[in-house]
Amino acid sequence: MTDEAKRLFFALDCPAVQRKAIAQWRGELGLRTGKPVPADNFHLTLLFLGAVPLAQINEVCEAAGKVRKPGEPLKILLDRLQVWHRAGVLSLAPEQAPQALLRLVYALEQAMLPFGFEETSHEFRPHLTLARDYRAPEPESATLPEFFLRAERFALFESHKGRYRVLQDWPLI
């Protein structure tokens, strides 16, 4: 990453109360492998952009502000613990992704096409990453996950030295 670009992604932020509850639940899993994601970084990625030239960030924000919004807060039930073995990720995910969430992601993808960001070859899978470099089977849990992520806004985040920071956000209503 150069000083000429920032590593950016669109996401739904996780409220502080939920971050704490999810981190506590993760702690009860007794993980012995992987690197736990700091609770302050919990989010649900909508679209990863990668390195965005500084000169393009304002245009990206303008385009994001014009996408069609769901018109109501998004409510996503994170009720499935899963391991992505190839990526080495332990995550929480919804059993069923809300259609409004899928439409928002599609609208963002379409809005970002003119900027020429690398197109992802994989289908969008909503998730909240709990640990990276995770190389074990799915851990046993005494209590099944059931976290409602309620979002009233989506945001453009910068990833810098392992910390995430909101650059701009937009209401979903």
Q: What is the rounded (10 degree) CA torsion for 14, 100, 167, 27?
A: 20
Residue of 43, 85, 122, 160 marked catalytic: 43
Say whether 43 is catalytic: yes
6: β partners? 52
Sheet holding 5-13, edge to edge: 43-53, 5-13, 153-160, 163-171
Structure tokens at 74: 């998004």
Query: Are 36 and 26 a contacting pair, CB within 8 Å?
Result: yes
Q: Choosing from 85, 122, 127, 160, which is the catalytic residue?
A: 127
- The structure tokens listed for 61 are 């924000």
* Reduced DSSP (H G I as helix, E B as strand, rest coil) percent helix, strand, coil of the chain, to 5: 25, 35, 35
Q: Which two tokens stand for residue 135?
A: 């190389």
Active site residue 85: no
Residues belonging to the active site: 43, 127
